[in-house]
Amino acid sequence: MGTSQPGSILALIGGILGIVWGVVLLFAGSLVGALLGPLGAFPVVIGIWLIATAIVVIVASRWMKDPAKCFRGGLVVLILSVVGGGTILGLIGGILGLIAGKKAN
């Protein structure tokens, strides 16, 4: 077997939610920046970070469908879900990808 279909789907949903949260933070940061000046830079930077890590999570969720890349994809999703402020769905998807990748080897 070696692929993690449920893990891939959960990681994909987690990546999409990460993009949504990143866009919300970008919008909030731009509003705060327009009203209060440089205070809006912090949410904008965090929003950009969330969007960037969420895009990589989505790419890694696609890797989890390939038996040769399932473990690697699960590891990337797990790390970026922790470091990138991802969702619990990304964490669960990454763990499922790691388990499926280990079973393949």
Residue 71 has pLDDT above 70, yes or no: yes
CA 65 vs CA 7, 59, 60: distances in Å:
9, 11, 9
- Output the pLDDT for position 2: 56
- Output the pLDDT for position 4: 64
Average pLDDT over residues 78-97: 86
**Domains in the chain, number:** 1
- Output the pLDDT for position 3: 65
Average pLDDT over residues 2-31: 88
Question: What is the domain extent for residue 57?
Answer: 5-104
DSSP 39: G
> What pLDDT digit, counting tens, does each position of 30-47 carry?
888 888 878 778 888 899
